[in-house]
Structure 1
Amino acid sequence: MRQNQPLFPARLHHLCLSVREHERSLAFYRDALGLAPAPLPGTNAWVLSGGQRTLILEAGPPAQLRYAAYAVGDERQLDALRERLRHNDITPEASPSPLLREGAFAARDPDGGLVAFGLPRAVPGPADRLPGRLQHVVKRSAQIERITAFYRDGLGFELSDTVLEGPHQQRAAFLRSDHEHHSFAVFHATEPAFDHFSLEANSWNDLRDWADHFAGLATPLFWGPGRHGPGNNLFLMVRDPEGNAVEVSAEIETITDGRAPGVWQHNERTLNLWGGSWIRS
């Protein structure tokens, strides 16, 4: 834990997604990501667990991020983070996650989205056949400046890079909670929405193996392979049955202390240095 920055370090531990057709989604995440599904007793939700990646799927409207949950190192760090929120007039709420221990809490962003913090419970799951730890989550927002300020100034994430349209209009922000380029990002949109989540593999060869694995399931890549500008990471993307984007990444940039936030212009090469981009509306 850094002095006056109790968030550091924190890592993305799990996500909760709302899905309409849970049987198809459970089968996809079992087969495509190697996650073992188990129902949460007394709920319409399922835990999908693996070695380094865990999701919760909840029956409901499609393609919605219910919450993202970040793991901190110990109770002292958690208490300091809770105090930071209160100091910044952010009211801690009860944690929505059954996978965090007692004492966990959540904060609600300006779009009403929840982000939880706590100490994780042990979640048994199969060993990962392909490497890919849950690493970052991305949202869309019509009030991108407020979301950026909430995560940076309120929660204590650090800004790694900003993407601008012209000299001033913000189109994206990439923020980190440890030494990796981003564990959260927000993209400009006309309304709030879930954009994608990412698994971080170890190497370019891992991305090849993931692509071959998806091919064996007749799951096509819809973007990539490529290399992002911000983050400099290799990537490929597929979609789950509800249309959610799932990224597999490798070689994401590591940030040294004191590095000033970068500024990129919104264009195809920023999104993919190799060419060919997914331009969000």
Structure 2
Amino acid sequence: MTTDNSPVNAPVNERGERLITHLRHVDLAVPDYDKQLHFYTEMWGLSPEVTDEGIAFLAAEGSPEQYSVRLRRADEKRLDLISFGAATAGDVDAMAQRLSSAGIRLVAEPDTLQTPGGGYGFRFFDNDGRTVEISSDVAVRQHRRIEEGESIPVKLSHVVINAPNPEATVAFYEQHLSFALSDTLWSPHMGEVMWFMRTNPAHHSLAIARCPHVSLHHASFEMRGIDEYMRGSGRLMRAGVEKVWGPGRHLAGNNTFTYFLDPHGNTIEYTTELEELDEDTWHPHLYDFSDPEVTDQWGTANPMNEFVAKQSFNDPDRGVFVAPPV
């Protein structure tokens, strides 16, 4: 089954291109900062730039982005923000003007960024109260090719968010940010439960899941290839990191997956081979995720059960409509 995915009044620049180009980073507030910092660097494989203020900027070695994860020491666990890139400062201004004109609350007007790499950007609240950042002109980080057998992330692949009214959240990202629908998951008992959305030919850089509350579903990191993905998954399992689901290969996106829990219960994923789409010819599918081959084409992952579903719900986000302090 397919469905129409035409964005309504899509925000594009004078070149006819989307104003948002790609995913930059995901920022987390964490109560046990030292434990999380150790996990994401020593276990997960990110490279740290640490400040004296209890903030760490963690880079993926294969990515030109200054950082893929920001950790901030805080009393409560929350998703601080999700950051997306834009091509030019003019596109940033156009996006801010568009959102403001639509009555969407800006957290900060476009200005010079004070984070690594600088750049120009602004923040706003989406319809669920998440803080979202849009930026351009961030300096490129010195990065490198990940070598064969090296089981560390190449880059941040995608972020999945939970929403109590996901249809409204999907419409928000389509209409205001020009995300396009790639595929949808549904079941005969639950109806539609997850929407995969893209802002470039990658099958999804954002997905939206049905959940009783606003929260982070998971953040996913791209590995060099199948071998490196399996080596990384195995390294974490041998180390006793709690595995939620996998290893396997999804049908929507055709990407591999192994999901783990970080020390504060955020689900994070190793993946590889996420599908690249021909956007001119692509038509979204409606996949029945009660079919085992939809959730895992290989049949190697543990079954999708209540434990997997519960972990993906995460804790309710305490940062809704509250901008992070930095």
* TM-score strictly above 0.5: yes
Equivalent position to 2:275, from 253, 266, 270: 253
* Paired position in structure 2 for 1:229: 251
Do the aligned partners of residues 235 and 62 (structure 1) sit closer, same or farther apart at CA in structure 2, a change above 3 Å counting? farther
What TM-score, normalized by structure 2, do the two folds share?
Answer: 0.76
Report deviation, 1:161. 1.1
- In structure 2, give the amino acid aligned to 1:279: A
* Paired position in structure 1 for 2:47: 36
Cα contact 1:6–1:77 (8 A) shared by 2: no
Unaligned runs of 5+ in 2: 1-11, 314-326
- Matches of 1:142 and 1:203 in 2, distance apart? 35
Report deviation, 1:83. 4.0
Greater mean alpha carbon deviation, residues 76-85 or residues 199-208: 76-85
Equivalent position to 1:90, from 104, 107, 113: 104
Equivalent position to 2:226, from 186, 199, 204: 204
Cα contact 1:7–1:157 (8 A) shared by 2: no
Cα contact 1:35–1:125 (8 A) shared by 2: no
Equivalent position to 1:152, from 166, 174, 191: 174
Equivalent position to 2:124, from 107, 113, 132: 107
What TM-score, normalized by structure 1, do the two folds share?
Answer: 0.87
Give the CA RMSD over aligned residues. Answer: 2.8
Cα contact 1:226–1:234 (8 A) shared by 2: yes
Do the aligned partners of residues 221 and 123 (structure 1) sit closer, same or farther apart at CA in structure 2, a change above 3 Å counting? same
* Paired position in structure 1 for 2:324: none
Do the aligned partners of residues 92 and 192 (structure 1) sit closer, same or farther apart at CA in structure 2, a change above 3 Å counting? same
Report deviation, 1:86. 4.1
| 1:6 counterpart = 2:18 | yes
Partner SS for 1:191: coil
Unaligned runs of 5+ in 1: none
- Matches of 1:50 and 1:249 in 2, distance apart? 14
Greater mean alpha carbon deviation, residues 46-55 or residues 122-131: 122-131
Report deviation, 1:255. 1.3
* Paired position in structure 1 for 2:31: 20
Cα contact 1:46–1:56 (8 A) shared by 2: yes
* Paired position in structure 2 for 1:194: 216
* Paired position in structure 2 for 1:116: 133
Identity of aligned residues (%): 25
Do the aligned partners of residues 166 and 268 (structure 1) sit closer, same or farther apart at CA in structure 2, a change above 3 Å counting? closer
Equivalent position to 1:64, from 78, 81, 91: 78
Partner SS for 1:12: strand
Do the aligned partners of residues 216 and 164 (structure 1) sit closer, same or farther apart at CA in structure 2, a change above 3 Å counting? closer
Do the aligned partners of residues 26 and 165 (structure 1) sit closer, same or farther apart at CA in structure 2, a change above 3 Å counting? same
- Matches of 2:144 and 2:39 in 1, distance apart? 16
Do the aligned partners of residues 226 and 151 (structure 1) sit closer, same or farther apart at CA in structure 2, a change above 3 Å counting? same
Partner SS for 1:173: strand
Do the aligned partners of residues 28 and 268 (structure 1) sit closer, same or farther apart at CA in structure 2, a change above 3 Å counting? farther
Partner SS for 1:279: helix
